[in-house]
């Protein structure tokens, strides 16, 4: 692991780091905020997965999470959204290829060589965090925005024992049911929609996956709400399954970081309550 930059913020350390990933066969960049803490202390970890076109930098620079993380003593980890590099395949559209890894392990050529974001987030990067930071890996939470909200929900639903808390900002709740998801999963996984269900939060809940609790915020002025995000499908899936969920429609908010930063401290506090020792 190499350090790209380090800055002091709210008494803690905001760092950006890079390492050679075996899963993606590329260099991967991520950011970590470690709040001030006593020597030898281990702190809970909150993962944040970003959305389409984003890198680690979007939330790091605009997410406004550090004050709340410092107050609650929570490490904040923000990975990139896809592999990058001149040799990594790409697509002309913003919703596929670089910046749009969808947190899946691709099985279709040419994507399968590099686009292994599921394994990277579930296995490889957690090992890096555990080795280099004062992280209590027994106390993990996860959140994310849009495509990253989809990632947070599906990763947690597949492995609920790993996470004590799960939330999302304007998540893609059902890639099976929207153009973004149909394009991404067809390209990465192939045409067999049965294989897509492992990457669809509503399908996972329908198939029996459960979480202790769930918090979702969605803006009513989000231009992607009706065509891509379809929050009502998650509400209906949770209601049918008896899955506890707090799904809040926030009046007047759009899909941007103005929305995310408005509710970030609330989410950090919500996670912190569930991540206490």
Give the residue ranges of the chain where pLDDT is below 70: 277
Q: Catalytic one among 56, 72, 255, 271?
A: 255
78 backbone φψ class: left, alpha, beta (φ>0; ψ -120 to 50): beta
Round to whole Å and give the CA distance between 253 and 249.
Answer: 9
* Active site (annotated) includes residue 255: yes
Tell me the two tokens of residue 50: 């970003």
Which CATH superfamily does the domain covering 2-275 fall into?
Alpha/Beta hydrolase fold, catalytic domain (3.40.50.1820)
| Per-residue pLDDT at 20 | 98
Marked catalytic residue, from 72, 80, 222, 271: 222
**Which tokens sit at 274?**
């569930």
Domain ranges, ordered by start, for the chain:
2-275
Q: What is the pLDDT of residue 277?
A: 67
Contacts of 164 (CB under 8 A, 6+ apart): 139, 140, 141, 212, 274, 275
pLDDT digits (tens, 9 = 90+) for 34-48: 999 999 999 999 999
Strand-strand pairing, 26-34 and 2-9: unpaired
Element (H, E) at 12: strand 12-21
Active-site pick, 146, 165, 167, 174? 146
Say if pTM beats, i.e. exceeds, 0.85. yes
pLDDT reported for residue 198: 98
Residue range 208-219, pLDDT digits in tens: 999 999 999 999
Q: Decide if 135 contacts 45 (C-beta within 8 A).
A: yes
For residue 143, list its beta bridge partners.
Answer: 48
């Amino acid at each position: 692991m190499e350090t790209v930059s380090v800055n002091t913020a709210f008494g803690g350390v905001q760092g950006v780091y890079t390492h050679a990933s075996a899963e993606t066969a590329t260099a991967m960049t991520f950011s970590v905020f470690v709040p001030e803490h006593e020597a030898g202390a281990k702190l809970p970890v909150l993962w944040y997965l970003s959305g389409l076109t984003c890198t680690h930098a979007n939330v790091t620079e605009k997410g406004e999470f550090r004050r709340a993380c410092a107050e609650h003593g929570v490490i904040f980890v923000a990975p990139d959204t896809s592999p990058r590099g001149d040799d990594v395949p790409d697509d002309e559209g913003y919703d596929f290829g670089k910046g749009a890894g969808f947190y899946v392990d691709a099985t279709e050529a040419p994507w399968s060589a590099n686009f292994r974001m599921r394994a990277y987030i579930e296995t490889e990067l957690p090992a890096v965090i555990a080795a280099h930071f004062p992280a209590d890996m027994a106390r993990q939470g996860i959140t994310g925005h849009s495509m990253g909200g989809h990632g947070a929900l599906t990763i947690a639903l597949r492995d609920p024992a790993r996470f004590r808390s799960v939330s999302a900002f304007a998540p893609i709740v059902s890639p099976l049911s929207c153009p973004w998801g149909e394009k991404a999963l067809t390209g990465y996984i192939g045409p067999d929609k049965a294989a897509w269900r492992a990457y669809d939060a509503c399908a996972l809940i329908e198939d029996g996956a459960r979480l202790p609790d769930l918090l979702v915020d969605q803006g009513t002025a989000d231009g992607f709400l009706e065509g891509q995000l379809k929050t009502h499908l998650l509400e209906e899936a949770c209601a049918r399954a008896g899955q506890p969920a707090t799904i809040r429609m926030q009046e007047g908010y759009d899909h941007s970081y103005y929305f995310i930063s408005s509710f970030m401290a609330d989410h950090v506090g919500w996670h912190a309550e569930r991540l206490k020792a």
